[in-house]
C-alpha cells in the first residue's frame, strides 16, 4: 500500500518533509530562501512551518514514533 492511500503513512511523509526542510534551511538558508515561489516554494513553506511550530512538530514526531512502534 502506498503512502497516498494510507493516512498514517501520508502523515509520516508530510512530517518527515517538514523536519527535513527545516534542517536543510537551518544549514543552508540561501537554498530555500531564493525559491519562495513556485513548486520549490513548497519546501520553503515546510521549513517555515517547522521553524514556527517546532514544539507541535516535535510532539507529532513523538506521537508518530509511538504509533509506529506499537503497530508493528
Q: Got the DSSP string for 21-64? A: HHHHHHH-HHHHHT--SSTTHHHHHHHHHHHHTHHHHHHHHHHH
**Mean pLDDT within 54-63:** 89
**Mean pLDDT within 20-24:** 93
Q: Which of 9, 22, 20, 29 lies closest to 71 in space, CA to CA? A: 9
Q: What letter does residue 4 receive in the DSSP assignment?
A: T
**Mean pLDDT within 55-61:** 89
Give 39-48 pLDDT, tens digit per residue: 889 999 999 9
Domain residue spans of the chain:
15-66
pLDDT at position 3: 57
Query: Helix axis angle, 54-71 relative to 41-52, nearest 10°?
Result: 100
- Please state the length of the chain: 72
Amino acid at each position: 500500500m502506498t503512502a497516498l492511500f494510507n493516512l498514517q503513512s501520508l502523515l509520516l511523509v508530510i512530517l518527515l518533509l517538514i523536519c527535513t526542510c527545516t534542517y536543510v534551511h537551518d544549514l543552508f538558508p540561501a537554498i530555500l530562501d531564493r525559491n519562495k515561489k513556485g513548486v520549490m516554494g513548497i519546501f520553503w513553506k515546510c521549513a517555515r512551518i517547522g521553524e514556527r511550530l517546532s514544539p507541535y512538530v516535535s510532539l507529532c514526531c513523538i506521537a508518530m514514533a509511538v504509533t509506529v512502534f506499537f503497530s508493528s
